[in-house]
């Protein structure tokens, strides 16, 4: 809270101040609770807490730590991010392609048309692939499958692609996964339990998971990995 906001709060009627302080206390309490850890693939991670996009109360709390671990494992290598997400939370020095979001260092191109003069050791996408094609007019419900195939072509030999996908947000994408039109080499799932506690689950247990549209958060995530031989 900046100095002007603090002065305005202190000059407010006592009841309003009391309510504001209570809201701040609740938010701080949530952030403290969020310092707990979760487990993914046998590794312990700290939940990620950040104000942007309410990361402390939704799937970003687990997506970001997992993505950062993959980035760390490919330090010094060629990396592409599909969808401008990580730069909102950390300093990003990798290539980023995002059709819509205008920001410094972001290439505004359609992912299916993106043709760099190089390949990548890591391609990472956080809650983005499910939007491909569905946000267009008219929607193209199979475009995401073409995007995944195209991205695999952009991988270097031995490279890998990692994508996190919230289930239930775009049912057409869920059906592409279930039908095998989009196939990952490795499939993992995370399920949200009480509050914003996440546990790793098997894929079958999250099929048909609903997205909490009023809460603006997923109840289940698929983390898909494709490794190029």
Average pLDDT over residues 97-113: 96
Contact 129, 165 (CB under 8 A): yes
For 179-197, give one letter per residue: b (16+ CB within 10 A) or e: eeebebeeebbbbbeeebe
Contact 160, 23 (CB under 8 A): no
Tell me the HSE value of 15 on the side-chain side, using a 13 A CA sphere: 0
Question: What residue spans define the domains of the chain?
Answer: 58-227
Report pLDDT for 16: 67
Provide the pLDDT confidence category of residue 180 given band limits of 50, 70 and 90: very high
CA distances from 119 to 71, 114, 197 (A): 16, 11, 37
Percent pLDDT > 70 in the chain is: 85
pLDDT tens figures, 183-207:
999 999 999 998 899 999 999 999 9
Whether the per-residue pLDDT at 2 is higher than 50: the answer is: no
Whether the per-residue pLDDT at 12 is higher than 70: the answer is: no
Choose the CATH number for 58-227 among 3.20.20.80, 3.50.50.60, 3.40.47.10, 3.40.50.150: 3.40.50.150
- Decide the pairing of beta strands 155-166 and 120-126: parallel
Provide the pLDDT confidence category of residue 135 given band limits of 50, 70 and 90: confident
């Amino acid at each position: 809270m900046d100095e002007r906001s603090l002065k305005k709060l202190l000059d407010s009627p006592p009841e309003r101040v009391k309510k504001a302080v209570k809201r701040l206390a609740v938010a701080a309490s949530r952030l403290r609770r969020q310092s707990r850890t979760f487990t993914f693939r046998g590794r312990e991670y700290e939940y990620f807490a950040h104000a942007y996009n309410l990361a402390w109360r939704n799937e970003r709390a687990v997506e970001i730590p997992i993505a950062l671990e993959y980035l760390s494992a490919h330090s010094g290598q060629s990396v592409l991010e599909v969808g401008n997400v990580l730069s909102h939370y950390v300093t990003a020095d990798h290539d980023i392609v995002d059709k819509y979001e205008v920001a410094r260092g972001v290439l505004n191109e359609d992912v299916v048309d993106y043709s760099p003069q190089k390949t990548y050791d890591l391609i990472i996408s956080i809650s983005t692939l499910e939007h491909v094609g569905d946000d267009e007019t008219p929607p193209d419900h199979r475009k995401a499958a073409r995007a995944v195939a195209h991205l695999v072509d952009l991988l270097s030999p031995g490279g890998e692609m990692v994508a996190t996908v919230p289930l239930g947000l775009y049912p057409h994408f869920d059906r592409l996964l279930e039908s095998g039109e989009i196939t990952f080499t490795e499939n993992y799932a995370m399920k949200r339990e009480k509050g914003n506690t996440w546990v790793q689950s098997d894929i079958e247990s999250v099929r048909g998971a609903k997205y909490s549209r009023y809460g603006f958060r997923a109840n289940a995530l698929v983390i898909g990995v494709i490794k190029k031989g």
